[in-house]
């Protein structure tokens, strides 16, 4: 079995959390989904996606049935995991944030250009994964993740956060209306830029930082795992670049 390719956070690695921001390499899917695609709904062959998931679980050091993700709807709904639920049951739930304190349970999200954000509490071992596209950032997906971890006894000051590869500011051109909506949720951070004299571009990474720091997350506890999904076709899928016939990445962290 080939190894699934992934990127990792130095902060999470040093804290002993198994995690991965998987790229598109090291799987068995073919065509526009080549090769490490994690979504059946985009049109890929289900057995191939399942093999990719087995490879991801092996990379994380867990059993396949402990690797969880939900049906994402660009919202702020949280799904808590005990770690013994059937994965198919969780997949039927609509949620963009997964949280767990059960050791050996992986919280994961899927993305193409949206922002995958992983959370870990070094004291309790609790983890969370958030899917935060521009709509999710506006609707408070990251806020929901932090508040849920806080409600479970985690100290915000101790939280570690890793922000994974996504569409870069250079590639994320939006309408003036969307730019205004994004800027409104982070008034303290200049996230809108004019590039090339055209429509506005928005910096989702800077917006995520601003929201997290406003919640009380220490800036030194936020790790940027870099990569632009649009510009790097060799390593990443991109809906904006390739349209509907494009794969989805997986980003996951395992409760300790």
* Whether residue 136 has pLDDT greater than 80: yes
> Do 59 and 6 touch, CB atoms closer than 8 A?
yes
What is the number of structural domains in the chain?
1
C-alpha span between 62 and 67 (Å, rounded): 8
Say if 229 falls within a structural domain.
yes
Say if 192 falls within a structural domain.
no
pLDDT of residue 2: 60
> Do 210 and 200 touch, CB atoms closer than 8 A?
no
Give residues with Cβ within 8 angstroms of 171, minimum separation 6. Answer: 201, 228, 230, 231, 240
CATH number of the domain that 45 lies in? Answer: 3.60.140.10
Q: Calculate the average pLDDT of the chain.
A: 97
Give pLDDT tens digits for 138-197: 999 999 999 999 999 999 999 999 999 999 999 999 999 999 999 999 998 999 998 877
Say if 227 falls within a structural domain.
yes
How far CA 15 is from CA of 80, 125, 240, in Å, comes to 22, 10, 34
Domain encompassing residue 111: 6-167+217-254
Say if 207 falls within a structural domain.
no
Say if 185 falls within a structural domain.
no
9 Cα distance to chain centroid = 13
Give pLDDT tens digits for 29-87: 999 999 999 999 999 999 999 999 999 999 999 999 999 999 999 999 999 999 999 99
Say if 181 falls within a structural domain.
no
Say if 16 falls within a structural domain.
yes
Say if 114 falls within a structural domain.
yes
Q: DSSP string spanning the chain? A: -PPPPEE--HHHHHTT--EEEE-S-SS---GGG-S----TTTT--HHHHHHHHHHHHHHHTS-GGGEE--B--SS--EEEE-S-S-HHHHHTSB-SEEEE-STTPEEEEEESSSEEEEEE-TTT--EEEEEE-HHHHHHTHHHHHHHHHHHTT--GGG-EEEE--B--TTT-B--HHHHHHHHHT-TTS--EEE-TTSSEEE-HHHHHHHHHHHHT--GGGEEE---BTTT-TTT---HHHHTTS---EEEEEE--
């Amino acid at each position: 079995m080939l190894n699934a390719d992934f990127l990792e956070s130095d902060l999470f690695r040093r804290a002993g959390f198994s995690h991965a921001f998987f790229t598109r390499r090291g799987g068995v899917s073919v065509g526009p989904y080549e090769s490490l695609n994690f979504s059946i709904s985009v049109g890929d062959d289900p057995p191939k996606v399942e093999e990719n998931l087995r490879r991801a679980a092996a990379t994380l050091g867990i059993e396949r049935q402990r690797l969880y993700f939900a049906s994402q709807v660009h919202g702020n709904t949280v799904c808590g995991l005990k770690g013994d639920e059937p994965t198919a049951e969780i997949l039927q739930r609509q949620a963009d944030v997964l949280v767990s304190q059960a050791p050996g349970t992986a919280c994961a999200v899927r993305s193409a250009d949206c922002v995958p954000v992983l959370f870990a509490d070094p004291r309790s071992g609790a983890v969370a994964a958030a899917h935060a596209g521009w709509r999710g950032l506006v609707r408070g997906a990251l806020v929901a993740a932090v508040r849920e971890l806080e409600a479970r006894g985690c100290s915000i000051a101790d939280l570690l956060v890793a922000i994974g590869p996504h569409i870069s500011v250079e590639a994320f051109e939006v309408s003036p209306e969307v730019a205004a909506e994004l800027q409104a949720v982070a008034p303290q951070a200049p996230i809108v830029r004019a590039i090339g004299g055209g429509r506005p571009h928005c910096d989702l990474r800077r917006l995520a930082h601003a929201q997290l720091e406003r919640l009380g997350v220490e800036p030194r506890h936020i790790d940027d795992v870099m990569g632009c999904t649009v510009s790097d076709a060799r390593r990443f899928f991109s809906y904006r670049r390739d349209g509907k016939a494009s794969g989805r990445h997986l980003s996951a962290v395992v409760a300790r």
